[in-house]
Amino acid sequence: MVNPGASEKNSPSTPVKIESNTREVNAIIINELEDDPGDTKLLRKLDWHLVPTMTVLYLLSFLDRVNIGQAKLDGLTVSLNLSSTQYNTCLSVFFITYVIFEIPSNLILKRLRPSRWIPMIMVSWGIVMTLMGLVQSYTGLLVCRLVLGGAESGLFPGASFYLSSWYRRTELSWRVSILFSAAALAGAFGGVLAYGISRMAGLGGQEGWRWIFYLEGIATVVTGAVAVFLLNDFPSDRPKFLTEAQCMRVIARLKIDTGAASGDHFSWKQVLAALSTWKIYAWSMCYIGMCVPFYSLSFFSPTIIHNLGFVTYQAQLLTAPPYVFAFFTTMITAYISDKYARRSIFIIFWLSVSIVGYAMLIAVDNLIVNYIAVILAAGGLSPCIATCITFLSGNISPQVKKATALAFMISVGNIGGVISGQLYRTQDAPRFILGHAVNLGFCAFGVINAVILLVGLRAENRRRDRVYGPAAPFAVLANTDSVSCVTTAASPKASDLGSEEERRRWGYEHLSEKEIRDLGDEHVTWRYIL
């Protein structure tokens, strides 16, 4: 609340002068308990300038990552004389370099800015993808997949961190899900696109699968070059599409959402803090539980559907419906998840749906039933990935700690990509019982860890309420240099770091402002979103 003694004419949107340390600033008082009426318009503006561009970039990223599955149906393994083991190895090695470079890439993103770093890596992997069309041997394909993994590693964790730097925690699931829905769209249209491109077989003396790599790689290079002019940086960089007042409001909304846990300076202490909490490992185990089946389905769904009894072109086209269903489950889940600010329960539910799908694939040998099972498995996994990313992003702070934790979780999950590339072997066709059983087990593993997070975070919230009392709301103000709290009558020296009395009660009276901000989600006023 603001000072009750303040004049009524000083409305929440009226600039007032307030002493801040040793200087006076023009500020905008923002009540935490009420959203500004202009926020809806502001969010629409953010959505229009931030989300579509990043979604298109991720669509191309995921398409370039998994189009090798469509190329296989179109003769890749025959042309290069690849054995089943060699092909699966080419799938898996992608994730080795992907995992290695994810955390460094997120830290570079924070330093170098998204508008520079993301187009740079995008052009890089687009060139590699184009060159994949020229490979003549197993070794050439293997090297290209290794380099492709390193180049692509920065986009998805970087994009997730980027969006979490603009939106409040309860607004994030919808936006991250729109981003991740690009994976579902890539799965839905990748097969249709591959079918169309494969009709170019013979053009220029090139096989159809080579044209898949050529055209999709060139599209990525062109889009990456254009992205330099389309991508915006972080709110603190004052992007041109926002007015000064709007930019201040964005920063203030983030301050409201995180309170004292909003420091954004780089600190190795924060990097270590991200790696020293049990929560990050539970999230990572939950994430790998969904990544193994998700990636194996992305790579092998054309092969799985083909082995149900469909011919090649039918299998390419029939990969679309499962991912159309996944798109809708992802978006519906995101809307409800943000509306009720719940994450774990949706992960548990949709992983259970995928478990049912894999159980049907194992237990029943019927074309229609098995195809429905593929749809259930795909539709259950997609919303889990997006929700898990939002689950972590909304519960880790400050910024560097969040960037590290997010990249670490995604890195661990992508270790599952190494596993997923080995699950569906030629000798297990046509039913692939081993692959389905392993995927079912990983889904169950994800459920277990989601339950652990739900129970553990709820217990910590209740402990903090019991020991320190419910988290008190702050009234904050925004200015061009900083965001800090307004003095109240009850606590004349209050700040977003707490009054002197509150600091004593929390045991923070001997900590500096920087040390308190570095506490992030470990601050006693932080409450986890379940």
Query: Are residues 20 and 482 in contact, defined by beta-carbon separation less than 8 angstroms?
Result: yes
Top pLDDT among 374 and 483 is at 374
Please provide residue 32's backbone torsions phi and psi, each rounded to the nearest 5 degrees.
-65, -30
- Cis ω before 430 (30° cut-off from 0): yes
Euclidean distance between CA atoms 283 and 343, whole angstroms:
12
Query: Are residues 388 and 280 in contact, defined by beta-carbon separation less than 8 angstroms?
Result: no
Please provide residue 20's backbone torsions phi and psi, each rounded to the nearest 5 degrees.
-130, 105
Position 452 scores a pLDDT of 97
Confidence check: pLDDT of 392 > 90: yes
Average pLDDT of 207-234?
91
SS3 316: helix
Confidence check: pLDDT of 7 > 80: no
Position 411 scores a pLDDT of 85
- The sign of the dihedral angle between the CA atoms of 293, 298, 303, 307 is positive
The structure tokens listed for 262 are: 């909003």
Confidence check: pLDDT of 255 > 50: yes
Position 37 scores a pLDDT of 64
Q: What is the pLDDT of residues 321-333, one digit of tens each?
A: 898 899 999 999 9
Confidence check: pLDDT of 57 > 80: yes
Confidence check: pLDDT of 121 > 90: yes
Average pLDDT of 144-150?
93
SS3 33: coil
Q: What is the pLDDT of residues 65-98, one digit of tens each?
A: 888 888 888 889 999 999 988 998 998 899 899 8
Euclidean distance between CA atoms 354 and 381, whole angstroms:
6
306: left (phi over 0), alpha (psi -120 to 50) or beta: alpha
Position 35 scores a pLDDT of 53
Average pLDDT of 385-410?
87
Q: What is the DSSP string of 288-307?
A: HHHHHHHHHHHHHHHHHHHT
Position 1 scores a pLDDT of 35
Q: What is the pLDDT of residues 333-376, one digit of tens each?
A: 988 998 888 999 999 999 999 999 999 999 999 999 999 999 99
Q: What is the DSSP string of 436-496?
A: HHHHHHHHHHHHHHHHHHHHHHHHHHHHHHHHH-SPPP-EEEE-SS-EEEPP-SS-TT--T
Position 24 scores a pLDDT of 35
Residues in the chain: 530
SS3 28: strand
Position 450 scores a pLDDT of 97
Mean pLDDT computed over every residue of the chain: 82
Q: Identify the structural domains of the chain with CATH numbers, from first to last.
A: 38-258 (1.20.1250.20), 267-470+494-529 (1.20.1250.20)
Average pLDDT of 236-243?
84
Euclidean distance between CA atoms 458 and 218, whole angstroms:
48
Q: What is the pLDDT of residues 257-274, one digit of tens each?
A: 765 545 555 667 788 888
Position 313 scores a pLDDT of 74
Top pLDDT among 520 and 46 is at 46
pTM over 0.85: no
Euclidean distance between CA atoms 197 and 152, whole angstroms:
23
Residue 11's identity, in one-letter code, is S
Tokens 């780089």 sit at which residue?
Answer: 266
- Cis ω before 4 (30° cut-off from 0): no
Confidence check: pLDDT of 472 > 70: no
| Lowest-pLDDT range of 20-24, 99-103, 192-196, 506-510 | 20-24
- Beta bridge mates, 25: 18
